[in-house]
Amino acid sequence: MRRTRQKNTDREQAEQKREAVKSVLISAGFRVGAAALLFCTRSRTPWPGLHQVLLWLAVLGLVTIPFSLVVLRQRLREIEKGELNEARKY
């Protein structure tokens, strides 16, 4: 019985890891897409004052991606340690 529980836990952890990675990749994709849209809009806007604002918005959107990767790494460590499974007991 213990082996069955261990296999289920391993499968659950693998699924949780896949979901965590997938969510970060989707989020990063949206951020890159939004930055690309802002860069395109920046090049076509007739107002020069708006150029700087759109540039900063695009850069700020891209700067958050490395932080997402750090959080993902922490999340994968939590999953590996089984902290979520331990918390479900209570």
Q: What are phi and psi of 44, to 5 degrees?
A: -110, -5
Structure tokens at 28: 């990063």
Q: State yes or no: pLDDT of 50 exceeds 50.
A: yes
Structure tokens at 72: 């993902």
pLDDT per residue as tens digits for the range 57-73: 999 999 999 999 999 99
What is the Cα–Cα distance from 25 to 69, expressed in whole angstroms? 9
pTM of the model: 0.76
CA angle 5, 24, 55 (to 5 degrees): 170
